[in-house]
Chain A
Amino acid sequence: MRALTWHGKHDVRVDTVPDPEILNPRDAIIRITSTAICGSDLHLYDGYIPTMKPGDILGHEFMGEVVETGPRSTLKEGQRVVVPFVIACGQCFFCEKHQFSACANSNPADNQDLGRELYGHGMTALFGYSHLTGGYPGGQAEYVRVPYSDTGPIVIPDGLEDEKVLFLSDILPTGWMAADNCDIEQGDTVAVWGCGPVGLFAVQSAFKLGAHKVIAIDHFPNRLELAARFGAETLNFEESNTYEALMEMTGGMGPDACIDAVGLESHGMFLDNAMDQIKASTFLGTDRGHALRQLITACRKGGKVSLPGVYGGFLDKFPIGALMEKGLQVKSGQTHVQHYQDDLLRMIGEGELDTTFLISHRMALEDGPEGYVKFKNDQNECTKVVLKPGQIPAA
């Protein structure tokens, strides 16, 4: 089959690789019909995530048609399914608590050692996201093997086209959980740093969960405009002093909850960012954290901090004093997709959530490498790239 594979920093290619096979009783094989490039794929593309190997198949936002099932799969051939990016067994302590992204079993034992060294515990497996998280081939391909197919994949009813439901795989539940982690109360203002796909879904979700006001922060005008379409007030950090503006927009209190939908590649010309970049390039630190420092400083006393943005290692100059002295609560983590997917599918079906507004580019799988370049270099116009394995490549 054809698959988009990683070969090094800024080097992805579409290669011919062996077809996936059923390896375990609960497996299924899916023929991919739509697959998206995620903002977190750019962290792999930019070489920020360790334990990638040349030839690894990328992609963790995908859906398709069931073409083969193992003896313990409950799926049926021909069913259309969206597959959560978190691989979870459904039967361990964590899965029973619905902390699916902490599943103890999905990552093969040999791949858990590094996570134990880095983080104290082995990581849960994700599709197409380095060997730290299992080394599972991803879904930017014609076919993919899906483990634990009896618990993960969500069957899509007829009449809901791919583009409406594809984002159930990651960014929609990720934006929703980011807002859910804010425990929004009446009158609350939620500020969202980063209006990429997760940030924009967090804006929509925060309103659905009862936010009085949502403030969207970015420097790309097109992305701010998309946030404004959902009713958010916007803040361009290149034009305004973010902290001062947030205080004025919240009656001097600061936002009740702050969402970091930026993560480890924070943008902007700020002194701490420049320092972080130098440290990252010399391995003195790994993550850039201007957005995170700023939101902890801006958050109101006793407020909530929600971190859907991906961090991988260590951050220097973390404002631990502000966090403690102001009594902030922090919630974070990879998304418990399986916990949210049924409700979100229902809301999509009932037209309560807009999921298609985000897609700016539709391309053939063969043109995937160009999609990465566009998504990285044109963040104003290129909000989301969907790859179609069946589509004929552009000439």
Chain B
Amino acid sequence: MSDPRTDDAPATSETGVSGHTETINRPREAVYAFFRNFSNLAPVLHNVQAIEVKDETTSHWKVSGPDGTYEWDSKIVEDEENCRIAWVSTEGSDVKHEGVVTFRDAPPGRGTWITADIRYEPPYGMVGKAVAKLFQKEPSIQVRRDLKRLKALLEAGEIPTSSPPNPEPAS
């Protein structure tokens, strides 16, 4: 482990995947509590249809892709109240998936800094290709967008949409 860095800038993820931080104008306890209930996250996360919480640590994820729906179970493996949540997909999942989210106090009066690092490791074969297309294209952009949606939902109470009308005139 030789680190030639000479500054305080956060290291980028070694796999170059998806670390990203956003400020949410709510107390750390509130942001943690919302995130800890994974069923809250489906509308926030890209392409996730539903997340069903099965027990204290296990949740079932349903994700839509260009070639159908993918499903897997995730298990929380680390849970430090108001600070950190980590989860991994369980044995036998089609899609190997893991995530770590940390919660820190933002500067005074500014709420919470949330940092997310979420990775997907698709298997080989046809399904793998489709999943790779789904998640690996721009994963860091997706995580950034996911955190912005989470921020909007927690601050403004809803996720913004402009849903413009069909560009073709109706008549």
Contact = CB atoms under 8 A, between A and B. Distances in A.
A107 interface: yes
A137 B152 contact: no
Q: When A and B form their complex, which 10 residue pairs have the shortest distance between CB atoms, in order from nearest?
A: A55-B167, A89-B156, A109-B148, A109-B145, A15-B169, A105-B152, A135-B162, A136-B162, A24-B158, A16-B171
A110 interface: yes
18 contacts: A17-B169, A20-B165, A57-B164, A90-B156, A91-B157, A92-B155, A92-B156, A93-B25, A93-B111, A104-B151, A104-B155, A105-B155, A109-B148, A113-B145, A134-B160, A136-B162, A136-B164, A137-B164
Given A56-B164, A96-B25, A137-B165, A17 B156 contact: no
A349 interface: no
A107 B145 CA distance: 11
Interface in B74-103: none
A257 B75 CA distance: 62
Contacts of A54: 167
A391 B161 CA distance: 31
Given A25-B157, A106-B160, A109-B148, A93 B23 contact: yes
B126 interface: no
Given A55-B167, A96-B25, A113-B141, A105 B162 contact: no
Given A56-B164, A108-B160, A18 B170 contact: yes
B157 A26 contact: yes
Given A108-B161, A112-B148, A136-B162, A148 B169 contact: no
A320 B171 CA distance: 53
A191 interface: no
B12 interface: no
A79 interface: no
A125 B162 contact: yes
A72 interface: yes
A111 interface: yes
B149 A109 contact: yes
Contacts of B155: 89, 91-92, 104-105
A17 B165 contact: yes
B6 interface: no
B145 A110 contact: yes
Given A90-B156, A107-B160, 11 more contacts: A5-B169, A17-B170, A25-B157, A55-B165, A89-B155, A89-B160, A104-B151, A105-B160, A110-B145, A125-B162, A135-B164
Interface of B: 23, 25, 110-111, 141, 144-146, 148-149, 151-152, 155-171
A104 B157 CA distance: 13
Contacts of B168: 55
A274 interface: no
Contacts of B148: 104-105, 109, 112, 122
A55 B169 CA distance: 8
Contacts of A105: 148, 151-152, 155-156, 160
Interface in A84-128: 89-93, 96, 104-113, 122, 125
Interface string A1-21: 001010000000001111010
A359 interface: no
B48 to A, nearest CB: 14
Interface string A280-309: 000000000000000000000000000000
Contact of B157 (A56, A72, A134, A135): A72
Contacts of A18: 165-166, 170
Contact of B158 (A25, A113, A135): A25
Nearest to A147: B160
Nearest to B166: A18
A387 B157 CA distance: 34
Given A24-B161, A104-B151, A112-B148, A91 B156 contact: yes
Contacts of A26: 156-158
A23 B157 contact: no
B152 A89 contact: yes
A109 B165 CA distance: 19
A106 to B, nearest CB: 6
A56 B145 CA distance: 23
Nearest to B145: A109
Q: Which of A54, A96, A104 has the most CB of B within 10 A?
A: A104
A53 interface: yes
A98 B25 CA distance: 15
B12 to A, nearest CB: 17
A136 B167 CA distance: 13
A367 B166 CA distance: 22
Nearest to A141: B165
